[in-house]
Chain A
Amino acid sequence: MATTIPLFASFKYADSLTVVGISFCTALVCEAISWILIYRTSSYKSLKYSIDKAAKKLETMKTENPSSKLTIKKSKTKKIDRVETSLKESSRDLSLFKFKSGAVVALVLFVVFGLLNSLFEGKVVAKLPFHPITIVKKMSHRGLKGDDPTDCSMAFLYLLCSISIRTNLQKFLGFSPPRGAASAGGLFPMPDPKTN
């Protein structure tokens, strides 16, 4: 099956460009779906706003009352705990909200991966400039014949594309999760020892 346009036919590993191109388009489609289902909704906007606000408030309160001080008022400590709890709850709600809508994105990614797999199964799409460690080789040499460890399969290249392109695209478009949510634990926060 012809998988490359004539312009790149002279490159031995021109299929790698096809993989990158499809990954980039997939990332755009996924972000568009995420925007429709998640980012433009008022629930997401209000959750994000409350997380940002709580995170900044917590930071200010902690800076004004560093934990090393022995004379912290009980009321201030209680206030900090209240803000922390509110931040954790908002982060959990945000993660749950994104999780439900993310199923559609996951389906798109699954379909695209299946398509790429059928197009490039058993084909070497790129050459690695290093010998991968065993655990990486399981993915980089997936489905390939021969013993050359520097042969790169579609799966590994697609993984690299997905992570780098999607992360930076989300960052560029402003769809990255708020930093306060990341530190608050997300969907499975650790239990607070102070409340037990």
Chain B
Amino acid sequence: MKESKLAKQNQQQQQQYNHQNDHLSPSKWTKLFDPDATWDKDQLGDVLHWIRQGMGLICGLLWGSIPLVGGIWIILFLVISSGIIYGYYAMILKVDEEDFGGHAALLQEGLFASFTLFLLAWILVYSLAHF
């Protein structure tokens, strides 16, 4: 177990050369769904951050268009977005959360920004589309 962790770390250090390059190549897209891929703490954090922002924007646009009204939908958004993030890193990527600071560190990645983005999108669409 310890040897496989060390081997994974060596691979991660080698892959740090590619970290500076932000262009999304096909290999980076496939890496997003590859359970065997190795992840740097920063890389995984960034991916989870942007997934959260995407969900915040989509939910805000959706909640505002329907429209969904009431504080309960804020709680539902938080539950849904956290559930999706958890499902993504635990079941799709199958990462060991202990290597990345635990569940709390991964789940709070981008949380506040996505929450404010969700509220902003929800309020804007609701106000503009229904009045």
B26 at the binding interface (Cβ < 8 Å): no
Segment of A9-17, A78-86, A95-103, A186-194 engaged in the interface with chain B: A9-17
* Contact indicator A13/B41 (Cβ below 8 Å): no
Classify chain B's interface size. 35 or more
* Contact indicator A131/B49 (Cβ below 8 Å): no
* Contact indicator B127/A179 (Cβ below 8 Å): no
Question: Interface of chain B, helix or strand or loop or mixed?
Answer: helix
* Contact indicator B49/A129 (Cβ below 8 Å): no
Chain A hits for B120, CB < 8 A = 20, 157, 160-161, 164
Complex-state Cα separation, A130 to B127, whole angstroms: 12
Given contact pairs A11-B128, A130-B73, A179-B42, A164 touches B123 in the complex (Cβ within 8 A): no
Chain B hits for A164, CB < 8 A = 56, 113, 116-117, 120
Those of B93-131 within 8 Å (CB) of chain A: 99, 112-113, 116-117, 119-120, 122-124, 126-128, 130-131
Which of A12, A126, A179 interacts with B41 by CB under 8 Å? A179
* Contact indicator B128/A13 (Cβ below 8 Å): yes
Question: Interface of chain A, helix or strand or loop or mixed?
Answer: helix
A76 at the binding interface (Cβ < 8 Å): no
Most buried by A among B41, B124, B130: B124
A residues with a Cβ closer than 8 A to B are 11-14, 16-17, 20, 59-60, 63-64, 126-131, 152, 157, 160-161, 163-164, 167-168, 171, 179
Can you name 14 A-B residue pairings with CB atoms under 8 Å?
A11-B128, A12-B127, A13-B127, A13-B131, A16-B123, A16-B124, A17-B124, A130-B69, A130-B71, A160-B123, A161-B120, A168-B53, A171-B113, A179-B42
